[in-house]
Amino acid sequence: MNGQIISQLLQRDLEKLKQELLLYRDETLIWKTVAGISNSAGNLCLHLVGNLNTYIGAELGQTGYIRNRELEFSQKDIPRTELIKKVENTILVITEALHHLPDEALAQEYPLLVLKEKTSTGYFLTHLAVHLGYHLGQINYHRRILEGA
């Protein structure tokens, strides 16, 4: 495995995230929740963008991004076009950061302790890709529940 494969997977799923946002027939539903679902698609989108910009952009790409995780779950009613722009910017950040990451770096320890114990950079990047896929599935389900599809 190399950084380019992880980058491609992240880009693929971020493109799917954009498509999910575009599939909402009623844009206001992006920010709705229903009983038993605590996060809206909009907040999950902000969370994914914040997560990837923090752990790939700021840490590996040295972008200077500063995360406000609390806002990821409290902001509401951001226009869909703005959410999509955030996703597109995140794709650019990931592409740039991982393009310059040498394959040897994947075996090295990830610089931050994020999980319960230290991991390799490759392991942590794989974790980020799985995390994105998990929330992407939640967004897809959210849309189908709210739109009766």
Cα–Cα distances in angstroms (integers) from residue 33 to residues 22, 37, 147, in the given order: 18, 6, 12
Q: What is the per-residue pLDDT for 40?
A: 97
- In this prediction, residues 9-26 reach a mean pLDDT of 98
Q: What is the per-residue pLDDT for 36?
A: 87
Number of domains within the chain? 1
Q: Which domain holds residue 8?
A: 3-147
Residues 47-82: tens digit of each pLDDT: 999 999 999 999 999 999 999 999 999 999 999 999
This prediction has a pTM of 0.95
**Cβ atoms of 98 and 106 closer than 8 Å:** no
CB contact set of 49 (below 8 Å; sequence gap of 6+): 72, 86, 87, 89, 90
**Cβ atoms of 7 and 95 closer than 8 Å:** yes
Separation of alpha carbons 78 and 55, rounded Å: 23
- What's phi and psi for 120, nearest 5 deg? -75, 160
Coil, helix or strand at residue 54: helix
**Which CATH number fits the domain that encloses residue 33?**
1.20.120.450
- What's phi and psi for 44, nearest 5 deg? -65, -40
**Residue 34's pLDDT band (cuts 50, 70, 90):** confident
Coil, helix or strand at residue 52: helix
**Residue 2's pLDDT band (cuts 50, 70, 90):** confident
**Residue 100's pLDDT band (cuts 50, 70, 90):** confident
Query: What is the Rg, in whole angstroms, of the alpha carbon atoms belonging to the chain?
Result: 16
Centre a 10 Å sphere on the Cβ of residue 119 and count the other Cβ atoms it contains.
Answer: 17
Separation of alpha carbons 56 and 88, rounded Å: 15
Q: What is the per-residue pLDDT for 3?
A: 83
**Residue 1's pLDDT band (cuts 50, 70, 90):** low
- In this prediction, residues 9-21 reach a mean pLDDT of 98
Q: What is the per-residue pLDDT for 148?
A: 84
Residues 124-140: tens digit of each pLDDT: 999 999 999 999 999 99
